[in-house]
Structure 1
Amino acid sequence: MAAAKLLKNTRDKKMVAFKSNMFVFMAIVASMTFCISAMEHAVGDDSGWVTPENPNFYIDWAANKTFTVGDTLLFDFYTGLHDVTPVIKEDYDRCSVTVPGTTIKTGPATLNLYIPGDHYFICSMDGDCLDNQKLAIHVVDNDSSN
């Protein structure tokens, strides 16, 4: 009788350990799937975050990309020459900063895209935005194409 009880306890412990290990394994797989799907987008590709010669440079750059929650934007620029300022659409359109936010002044800068929807960025230095150093993107949720 004691041997049967010991065998049952051993089986129960193995089952609990198996279920626990399976949970950990599934969590790792899920996190790997998320990490694999996340992308880093180098804004402007090899040109970086600069005042473009082509007025449609950043519009064209973003047009063929899909930005998803979990992705990052890498703004590669020289500290002191440019910055990255997330702005609202009205400020993007006017090249102004009326809603105080965070201006990133040290390059290169990486921004995480964690909210779906439209996002706007400008360089707020020396009229660079007026010279088309601005970026508008649409970020979709992992589960949809909103």
Structure 2
Amino acid sequence: MELRSIISYTLFLAFMSVLLHENLVGAASYTVGDAEGWTYGLDYQRWAQKYNFTVGDALLFSYVRGQHDVYEVVEDTFRSCDVSSGVVSTYASGSDVVNLTRATKHWFLCNVKGHCRGGMRFGITVARASPSPSGGDDGESPFPTSPPPPLLPSNAGASVARARWWLVVMGLWYVINYLGVD
């Protein structure tokens, strides 16, 4: 193999390692509802109980746009299914990514008529990713009294996922077109 190919191959591997690093260091992505996705008729609370969520993880809500939506809400809104108040964030793209950035409780529901009361809702507790460096209790409750403000626009997670996908495709295209030809 000539030197140009070796250098190109090494740079490509370094690029892919950086690109995929987030997935290799412990952060997990969960598709809500697993293979069925975010749809009517599943027991989402049972689904959520299968997993241990930690800061840095992400939830992917996959559904038919226009048939469902996703509201992140406070507990009272979750229990009442009344979104006239207590809405933290709304999503409606059909492929929504919610990054779990804080150790707190999160509640999600579908606001399409009848869906929330029909069971299309769940709550999760997100734990700290690792213990505090002191190893002791710092006295702070892991559950803040008010929900945190969203850090990114509601479609930012989906945009990042699409960008990563295109980078992988472009990297593979590069390998096929430039490294495969001598």
User: What residue is the counterpart of 1:138 in the other structure?
Assistant: 125
**Match for residue 77 of structure 1 among 60, 63, 71:** 63
**Is there any run of 5+ residues in structure 1 with no aligned partner, and where?**
1-31
Deviation at 1:78, TM superposition (A): 0.7
Matched, 1:64 2:50: yes
**Quick one: structure 1 residues 101 and 115, their matched pair in 2 at CA, closer, same or farther if it must change by over 3 Å?**
same
**Quick one: structure 1 residues 77 and 33, their matched pair in 2 at CA, closer, same or farther if it must change by over 3 Å?**
closer
User: What residue is the counterpart of 1:48 in the other structure?
Assistant: 37
Q: CA RMSD in A?
A: 2.1
**Is there any run of 5+ residues in structure 2 with no aligned partner, and where?**
1-20, 132-141, 143-182
Matched, 1:94 2:83: no
> What percentage of aligned pairs have identical amino acids?
32
Runs of 4+ in structure 1 over 6 Å off: none
Matched, 1:111 2:102: no
Aligned length, in residue pairs:
113
Which aligned pairs between 1:121-132 and structure 2 lie closer than 5 A? 121-132=108-119
TM-score (norm 2): 0.57
Q: Which has the larger radius of gyration?
A: 1
Secondary structure (helix, strand or coil) at the match of 1:46 reads: helix
| Contact 2:62 2:95 survives alignment (8 Å) | yes
User: What residue is the counterpart of 2:7 in the other structure?
Assistant: none
TM-score (norm 1): 0.71
Deviation at 1:126, TM superposition (A): 1.5
